[in-house]
Structure formats: structure tokens, C-alpha cells
């Protein structure tokens, strides 16, 4: 029975992954993500149901648009697959099953997936645009606020911990607002700190500490690889170096550490 549950979770995950790819493409462009029908980014042809089946449409169409025959970026397939796997791993990490179902597990599972969904979209946008999207920050604030209210009312959680992080969040948001009024753009560093504060609110403190450590390690490795590639290249064009998408690394490492720490907590 549990196998059937996990198959359903995987299917839900890849369906969410399909939505993530749409959101990552449209949100930075200010396009609608709920009512406008999906279309090919090359020929703008509206896609049919058979063109939008997560994973399978990409395989059957051999990674090409049915209408213009242009190649579809493999990131769509990869993101859908990763989403399905992460959803399953998250369920496994909290020992979700028929025998363990209760209101606490179900609520944590639902809010956890909503939280992970926000990180997926955030990481995708930041990886391409090096930009922390304010709409996703607002989404995470709403999701976490509802979850905190539930924890405090139903499970009698310690509210003081969340009050501290909420105050910190308000301070950082105020600073960012003042900066925006002066520079007409958000401060990327403050945006990352706001994102990290939201991670602290939802995950365990040591999970967030590990997130920061692994993020710094991942960035260091990326910079080292780039440096080695530059030295090996015979001719290197002098181009403006791309900014490091710190938000992308924060989101990816936070998802990984959240699942890993869940395994340690629920299986000890």
C-alpha cells in the first residue's frame, strides 16, 4: 500500500515540476502563470494536452517542439524529474505511510512540499537571472505564517522562536525597502538574508547552519572550477563575469539538508 502512495507522490511531484518550469520562465517576465495556456517559447504555438505530460512528452517528442521542431531545453525534463524524486525523498524522510499517518505528519508533509515548491521556483529564477523574486518571497511568508499559526494553536509550539525571526524579517525588509527607494532596485545580499531568515523559520537551526556551510562550499568549488577552466583555455575573451547565484545554492542545499536532517530525526 505504501508503494502506491509513493507512486502517487512521484506523479504529483513531476506535475508540480512541470508547473515549476512554467513559473521559472514566466514570473520574471511578468506573465500570468495560472490562466494563460502553455506555449512553445520558440514559435509561441499553444500546447495541447499531449504536449504537456510531465517527463513522457519530452521523451516521446525527443526533446523537440511538435510544431516548430526546435529543441526543448533539457532543464524542463531535469526539473520535472528532480521534483518527483525530491517529493518522494521528502515523504520517505518523515516516514510517511499508512501506519504513521496523523495530523502532525500530514500537516508537516503538506506545508513542507509547499515550502519546497517555493524553493524550486526561487532557485530556477535565481540561477538564470541572479534575482530573488519578491513574489516568491511573499509566497513563502504566507505559507510559513499559516504553518506557524497551526503549530502555535494545534501543537502548542514555542511562539517566541518565531517572533524573533519575524522581527528579523521585518528589519531586513525595511532595510531593503529603503535601499530600493534610493537605488530603484533591491539589494541582492539583503534578499539572500531574507531568504535565509525564511529558511530559519521553517527548518531547524542546525539545518540552516548546514545550508550556509554547504552553500559557501559549493560556491567555492564553482569558483575554483571556473578558475581552472580559464587557465586551461588558450584564448579567453575578456567578458564581464557572471554574478554568483547565491540564492540558487541556498535553495538547493537547504532542500538537501532538510531531507537529510529529517532522515536523522525520524529514523533515530
Alpha carbons 20 and 16: distance in angstroms, whole number: 6
Q: What is the pLDDT of residue 94?
A: 94
Q: Model confidence at 71, in pLDDT bands (50, 70, 90)?
A: confident
What is the Cα–Cα distance from 89 to 218, expressed in whole angstroms? 22
**Span of 75-79, 110-114, 126-130, 245-249 with lowest mean pLDDT:** 75-79
* Domain contains 42: yes
Query: How far apart are the C-alpha atoms of 200 and 243, rounded to whole Å?
Result: 25
Instruction: Examine the pLDDT at 34 and tell me if it is beyond 90.
Output: no
Domain membership of residue 113 (yes or no) is yes
Whole-angstrom distance, CA of residue 192 vs CA of residue 209: 14
Radius of gyration in angstroms for the set of CA atoms belonging to the chain, rounded to a whole number: 20
7 within domain boundaries: yes
98 with 191, same domain: the answer is: yes
Determine, yes or no, domain membership for 136: yes
By the 10 Å C-beta count (0-12 exposed, 13-18 middle, 19+ buried), 264 is classed as exposed
Q: Is the pLDDT of residue 235 over 60?
A: no
Residue at a domain's end among 81, 106, 126: 81
What's the longest Cα–Cα distance across the chain? Answer: 63
Residues 183 and 268 in one domain: yes
Q: Is residue 13 located within the same domain as residue 143?
A: no
The pLDDT score that the predictor gives to residue 64 is 84
119 and 37 housed in the same domain: no
pTM score: 0.90
Grid cell digits, residue 36: 494563460
Q: Provide mean pLDDT across the span 215-229.
A: 91
pLDDT value of residue 248: 95
Least confident of 23-27, 64-68, 114-118, 147-151: 64-68
Provide the residue range defining the domain that includes 191: 94-231+243-268
How many Cβ atoms from other residues are within 10 Å of residue 42's Cβ?
14
Residue 243 pLDDT greater than 90, yes or no: no
Last residue of a domain, one of 20, 52, 81: 81
Residues 55 and 112 in one domain: no
CA gap 42, 21 in Å, rounded: 15
Residue 86 lies in a domain: no
Instruction: Tell me what pLDDT residue 155 has.
Output: 87
Q: How far apart are CA 16 and CA 121, in angstroms?
A: 10
Look at residue 239 and tell me whether its pLDDT is greater than 60. no
My answer on whether 118 and 249 are in the same domain is yes
Distance CA 186, CA 176 (A): 6
Confidence band of 33 (pLDDT split at 50, 70, 90): confident
Mean pLDDT of 205-210: 92
Residues 222 and 128 in one domain: yes
- The mean pLDDT of the chain is 88
Could you tell me if 155 and 98 lie in one domain? yes
Q: Are residues 64 and 125 in the same domain?
A: no
Q: Domain count of the chain?
A: 2
Cα(first)–Cα(last) distance of the chain, in Å? Answer: 24
Based on the fold, state whether residues 155 and 268 are members of the same structural domain.
yes
pLDDT at 234: 58
Residues 72 and 98 in one domain: no
Residues 150 and 258 in one domain: yes
Other CB atoms within 10 Å distance of the CB of residue 208: 22
Residue range 106-133: average pLDDT?
Answer: 94
Q: In whole angstroms, give the CA distance from residue 268 to residue 263.
A: 8
Amino acid at each position: 500500500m505504501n508503494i502506491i502512495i509513493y507512486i502517487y507522490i512521484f506523479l504529483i511531484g513531476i506535475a508540480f515540476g512541470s508547473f515549476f518550469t512554467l513559473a521559472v520562465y514566466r514570473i520574471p517576465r511578468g506573465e500570468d502563470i495560472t490562466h494563460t495556456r502553455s506555449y512553445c517559447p520558440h514559435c509561441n504555438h499553444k500546447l495541447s494536452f499531449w504536449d504537456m505530460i510531465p517527463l513522457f512528452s519530452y521523451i516521446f517528442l525527443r526533446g523537440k517542439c511538435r510544431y516548430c521542431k526546435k529543441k526543448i531545453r533539457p532543464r524542463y525534463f531535469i526539473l520535472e524529474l528532480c521534483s518527483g524524486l525530491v517529493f518522494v525523498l521528502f515523504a520517505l524522510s518523515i516516514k510517511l505511510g499508512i501506519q504513521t499517518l496523523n495530523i502532525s505528519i500530514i500537516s508537516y508533509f503538506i506545508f513542507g512540499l509547499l515550502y519546497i515548491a517555493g524553493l524550486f521556483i526561487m532557485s530556477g529564477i535565481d540561477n538564470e537571472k541572479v534575482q530573488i523574486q519578491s513574489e516568491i518571497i511573499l509566497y513563502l511568508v504566507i505559507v510559513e505564517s499559516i504553518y506557524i499559526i497551526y503549530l502555535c494553536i494545534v501543537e502548542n509550539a514555542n511562539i517566541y522562536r518565531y517572533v524573533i525571526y519575524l522581527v528579523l524579517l521585518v528589519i531586513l525588509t525595511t532595510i531593503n525597502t529603503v535601499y530600493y527607494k534610493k537605488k530603484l532596485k533591491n539589494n541582492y545580499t539583503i534578499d539572500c538574508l531574507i531568504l535565509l531568515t525564511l529558511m530559519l523559520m521553517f527548518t531547524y537551526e542546525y539545518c540552516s547552519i548546514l545550508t550556509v556551510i554547504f552553500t559557501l562550499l559549493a560556491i567555492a568549488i564553482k569558483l575554483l572550477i571556473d578558475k581552472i577552466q580559464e587557465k586551461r583555455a588558450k584564448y579567453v575573451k575578456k567578458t564581464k563575469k557572471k554574478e554568483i547565484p547565491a540564492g540558487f545554492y541556498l535553495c538547493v542545499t537547504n532542500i538537501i539538508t532538510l531531507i537529510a536532517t529529517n532522515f536523522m530525526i525520524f529514523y533515530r
